[in-house]
Amino acid sequence: MRHLLCAVSFIALATPVHAQAQVAPQEATTTGSTAIVEQDQSGLPEITVTARRRAEDAQRIPGSLSVVGGELLDRSYTVNTQQLSQLVPALNYSSANPRNTAFTIRGLGSSVVAVSQANDGLEPGVGFYVDQVYHARPATAAFDFSDIAQVEVLRGPQGTLFGKNSTAGAINITTRAPSFTGGGEVELSYGSFNFVQAKAAVTGPISDTLAFRISGVSTRRDGVIDNVRTGQDHNGIGNQAVRGQLLFKPSEAFQIKLSADFTNFESNCCTQVYYRVATRDVPRAATRQFAGPTGLAAQFNYTPPSTNPYDRVTDIDAQLGVDTNEGGVAAIADWNLGGATLTSVTAWRFWNWDAANDRDYTGIPIQIEQHIPSRQDQYSQELRIASNGDHAINYVGGLYFFRQRVVGQPISIYGPAAARYLIGTTTGANATPVPANLLDGYGTDGRTDFQSNSYAAFGEVNWRPIEHVTLTGGLRYTYEHKTGTYDTFTFGGPPITSTALINAQLSILRGQNYAAKVNDGALTGR
């Protein structure tokens, strides 16, 4: 796809978009924002998308996007967003765990090590939408696909089209809508490590003006890494999700869809296996954990259970697990005014996250507990008007409000081997001896609280004076107010009075207190 975009003259010269539409030729018509796939006289499917917040042919959009239909997702066994990146080359998915999840499009967005991905107070550069509702936390994208009608991946800034500003692009997922024609489907899958996945959906009319749809998915798999210390297996899968929808359509001009969904992830996750042990014997070098007689682990007579990754074994000694759930409710109302459609999208969503880690990844009791529980709530309201049909002049405009709060309570506790491993046998300029139990039971507890309010007005106009030439102009104004607090305090450990030993403790963990507030307004356009 080649296009020229000039912000000064608002001119976009577009050749037909390469939609990468990978949708099997079929005939399907659905309500709301769900895709419509029809076959034209050339034998190629006409793909209707909502990338510009109205239904239109993908080939006539002066923009770069990829479209993947639900049928291809099922046929290629694409079960989650990680595998979606295999169908859309410009999309990259990275995840250290379900919380630390990020997308990039054309290399832009938030990588897994980027501050905007790890910081609960910031939103990613790639917007993630499900049924027109923005999901602020990237972790909510780590769900299993179920009952999906279409996925659109939009490249480039989308601020003049979407409520929340998305500077790198957007992923726009549409689920299958309720139908007044009854039907249902069931899918069962089985794989190695006792992988079992079940999907089901049912839809139909309740009355002449009311229809429903209920869908769900459950995925289970045993762990793939055995713990030789505890006998447990790690890195398994345990996911469940359910979605319910009601469609009220009293006339052809008006409809409202109510939806509610809940997803739960539980897993004895996440650990790793050893690939090799370094042989360098250099004190304080990066390889000192295991190398030679001066290696830190060697001083505890410790060796890894295996350095062959195909053995799939570990011996971690701390609690390990991931327990997260998310869900929400939404109301989407569409009112056809004739030449345009007025849409209201009201939503509330939540995300709970709790993970227990063994951060030293060994059987040595260095860090014996680490939890990072978080709770996120978000409220959003979008009011949007968009022109109907395919005319010489098409437009979209809207107002948007978004509120988010993320509260966390991180806790970290060290064990009896921590002082020897992390500090050594002496500390300070006077080589003060370090007691072996200096960090035993020493830890931090705390609270983080990030809040943000975002207000925006956006709009875009497209004028096509002649075929294959489109002039595009758009504006967006965003005002955001963010506040954040970070408080931690230390506890535990043996009683000490030595300044050198107190400083040694504080070099590992110390109490901290921060507060920040920022207001920002920005006008952008194209």
Q: Using alpha carbons, select from 227, 235, 238, 183 the residue that is nearest to residue 205.
A: 183
Q: If residue 115 lies in a helix (H) or strand (E), which one and from where to where? A: helix 115-118
Nearest 10 degrees: Cα torsion 95, 96, 100, 103: -20
Tokens at residue 337, please? Answer: 């005014």
- Strands of the sheet with 45-49, listed across from one edge: 36-39, 45-49, 56-57
Cα distance between residue 239 and residue 217, in whole Å: 8
Tokens at residue 404, please? Answer: 């988010």
Amino acid code (one letter) for 432: T
Q: Using alpha carbons, select from 224, 229, 185, 225 the residue that is nearest to residue 203.
A: 185
Q: What is the pTM of this model?
A: 0.82
Cα distance between residue 172 and residue 34, in whole Å: 11
Q: Name all domains of the chain by residue range, CATH numbers in brackets.
A: 3-175 (2.170.130.10), 222-525 (2.40.170.20)
Using DSSP, state whether 456 is helix, strand or coil.
strand
Tokens at residue 407, please? Answer: 């509260």
Distance of CA 115 to the CA centre of its chain: 15
Three-state secondary structure string covering 286-325: CCCCCCCCCCCHHHHCCCCCCCCHHHCEECCCCCCEEEEE
Answer whether the bond into residue 6 is a cis peptide, omega within 30°.
Answer: no
Q: Using alpha carbons, select from 205, 213, 201 the residue that is nearest to residue 181.
A: 205
Cα distance between residue 328 and residue 131, in whole Å: 12
List, in sequence order, the alpha helices (H) in 364-498.
418-422
Cα distance between residue 501 and residue 508, in whole Å: 11
Show pLDDT as tens, one digit a residue, over the chain (526 residues).
333 333 333 333 333 333 444 433 333 333 333 343 444 444 456 677 776 777 766 666 666 778 888 777 777 666 677 778 878 888 887 776 667 777 888 877 765 544 445 566 677 888 899 999 999 887 777 777 788 888 888 888 888 889 898 888 888 899 999 999 999 999 999 999 999 999 999 999 999 999 999 999 999 999 999 999 999 999 998 999 999 999 999 999 999 999 999 999 888 888 888 877 655 544 444 445 555 555 677 777 888 888 888 999 999 988 888 888 999 999 999 999 999 999 999 999 999 988 888 888 888 899 999 888 889 999 999 999 999 987 889 999 999 999 999 999 989 999 999 998 888 888 888 889 999 999 999 999 989 999 999 999 999 998 988 888 889 899 999 999 999 998 988 999 999 889 999 898 888 877 777 777 777 776 666 6
Q: Using alpha carbons, select from 118, 85, 320 the residue that is nearest to residue 223.
A: 320
Q: With the C-alpha atoms ordered 335, 336, 340, 341, is the resulting torsion angle positive or negative?
A: positive
Burial grade of 321 (CB within 10 A; 0-12, 13-18, 19 or more): middle
Q: Using alpha carbons, select from 117, 100, 99 the residue that is nearest to residue 108.
A: 117
